Amino acid sequence: MRRTASLFLLACAVFCAALSPLMRWYAFPRLARIPANQYQDMVLEARGATLLDYGTMRARKVSQVTIVQTLKGDVEAAKRIGRTAGRPVVVWDALSYVQGPDGRMVSRIPERYIFDAHSQAPVHATGETVDGDPVRREGIEFKWPFLTRKRDYEYFDAQTRTTNPIHYRGTRTFRGLKVYYFEQTIPWTRVPLPKAMPVQGVTPASIARTGTTRWYTTVRRFWVEPVTGAPVYGEEIHKEELRGGTLLGGRAKVTAFAGHVKMREDYIEHTVALVKHNRTLVLLLTSYVPRGSLALGLLLLALSLYLEARARRPEGPAPARTPRTEPVSA
């Protein structure tokens, strides 16, 4: 009986030991993926910002500029591109919509971002665009990989259409979460004018004929939860200028936008709660289940060896029986 129990425990120990690396190196890459149908929106604000009045072509202080960012997954495109690429991909249709304090549009820049569902590495396919212009992304955008490391990453900047390093600046605590802080500085760079302009009849082509150009710089900051790779908070110190040409009436430059852009409080709370939930799910695949099954396997192995040793232990000689005597009657 002990021998049978020992073999059963040994089989369970082997199963648990095999489950540990299987969960970490096989199940994790296949289960931890960005869903193809994900929809996400976020609101950011720049209070006390500087904004260009296109009617007078003068910069003025405004109470607030609002930026609404949306990410919407295109499931059919993801399936089609995934079959060609031979791996699961996600296709995000992103939109950055900027509006002034009166609710009027300042700029509207759409993007199509195609990337690997697990690693977040870009997948190059037809339709990869920024504001309708074809691009070829290198590096990450919007999200870091699962199990983010303490190192610099290449990050794509949609304004300049270039990839630049975003630097790891240390580990911090944000709303009860351990996060990695990243920072990227884009120096003054000439960038295209948005195709959707805030003034009716004014187009990038008409502005280009005046010789006026658009320039941009930013300091981009992210607080990233390393297990999920999701930013729980982000902000930018963002500046744009129009330079040269006849449109400015002889001035060398004019500020088109300048402000410290930050996430709105209600979206911070929602993002932190969502990341905490997803963090637990990722840890189940990468830490809790693999380590727990390995520990259980070792425990079952020790118990199996103990029962096997008990089963093999020789038994001592049986004690001699004292003959039973019957009373003799006369």
Q: Is the pLDDT of residue 20 over 60?
A: yes
- Counting every residue, how long is the chain? 330
Q: Cα separation of 256 and 214, whole Å?
A: 9
DSSP 306-322: HHHHHHHSPPPPPPPPP
Q: What is the pLDDT of residue 122?
A: 94
In whole angstroms, give the CA distance from residue 1 to residue 143: 56
pTM: 0.89
Residues 97 and 11 sit within 8 Å (Cβ to Cβ)? no
Q: For the chain, give the mean pLDDT.
A: 90
Instruction: Measure the CA–CA gap between 97 and 102, rounded to whole angstroms.
Output: 14
Furthest CA-CA distance within the chain: 148
Where is average pLDDT lowest: 191-200, 220-229, 236-245?
Answer: 191-200
Quote the pLDDT of residue 272: 96
Helix (H, G, I), strand (E, B) or coil at 179: strand
Predicted confidence at residue 330, as pLDDT, reads 42
pLDDT confidence of residue 90 = 96
Looking at this protein, which amino acid is placed at residue 221? R
Question: What gap in Å lies between CA 291 and CA 284, rounded to an integer?
Answer: 10
Q: Dump strand ranges (E) for 244-283.
A: 253-263
Q: What is the Cα 239 distance to its own chain's centre?
A: 26
The candidate with the shortest Cα–Cα distance to 290, out of 150, 178, 147, is 147
pLDDT at 309: 77
**Which residue from 248, 104, 225, 101 is spatially nearest to 171, judged by alpha carbons?**
225
**What is the C-alpha separation between 30 and 7, in angstroms, rounded?**
33
Q: Determine the pLDDT at residue 31.
A: 92
Q: Are 282 and 227 in contact (CB under 8 A)?
A: yes
Banded pLDDT at 88 (limits 50, 70, 90) = very high
55 vs 252, more confident: 252
pLDDT, mean of residues 280-296: 93
pLDDT tens for each residue of 102-156: 889 999 999 999 999 999 999 999 999 999 999 999 999 999 999 999 999 999 9
Quick check: 322 pLDDT over 90? no
Q: In this predicted structure, what is the pLDDT of residue 24?
A: 87
3-class DSSP state of 48: coil
